[in-house]
Structure 1
Amino acid sequence: MAKESLKARERKRERLVAKYADKRAKLKAEGDWVGLDKLPKNSSPVRLHNRCKLTGRPKGYMRKFGISRVTFRKMASEGRIPGVTKASW
């Protein structure tokens, strides 16, 4: 389980990226690189890192579900993810 501060930092970055997305796109289209430099560093989408929404685990992230592989396996075996069943043949 990741520290709460790491999860909070990532959520803060997500909010900043969403806040400055339109302004960033406009400045890029105009080619105003000086204006882009003045935006906050964490408002760049490149600085985002996918983390599990439940545990904050940074590795083994499954985009389709938004959780890590470990959490996915646990929830799937408990039947808590609709439409996901254990394969058997």
Structure 2
Amino acid sequence: MAKTSSVEKNNRRRKMVKQYAGKRARLKAIIQSKTAPIEERFAAQLKLAEMPRNSAKTRIRNRCEVTGRPRAYYRKLKMSRLALREMSNQGLIPGMVKSSW
């Protein structure tokens, strides 16, 4: 089980990304626009740099929904390999059976 502070920090980042998503998208559109004047593009770049770092989507860490483990994460199932194995052995995941040979 991961530290609850790490899990909560990641949850705060997710919330902040959602909060600033529209503003970031508008500023990035201005920056990438070739038709906008260079001064306007530079001003947008400065505003983007002033925004909180944790409002960037790349700062979010994929963590297991069950244990909070940050590594060995399956995106499709939103859980780590250890939690997946444990739950499948208990028969909690439909269609998944224990493999042995």
CA distance in 1, matches of 2:47, 2:65: 33
CA distance in 2, matches of 1:17, 1:86: 38
Unaligned runs of 5+ in 2: 32-43
Work out which of the residue numbers 54, 76, 80 in structure 2 matches 1:42: 54
**SS of residue in 2 equivalent to 1:83:** coil
Give identity over the alignment, percent: 45
Work out which of the residue numbers 87, 95, 98 in structure 2 matches 1:75: 87
Q: Does 1:18 align with 2:18?
A: yes
Please report the TM-score for the alignment, with normalisation by the length of structure 1. Answer: 0.92
**SS of residue in 1 equivalent to 2:58:** helix
- Greater Rg by CA: 2
Please report the TM-score for the alignment, with normalisation by the length of structure 2. Answer: 0.82
Unaligned runs of 5+ in 1: none
Q: CA deviation at 1:36?
A: 0.6
**SS of residue in 2 equivalent to 1:54:** coil
**Equivalence for 2:63:** 51
**Equivalence for 2:96:** 84
RMSD (CA atoms): 1.3
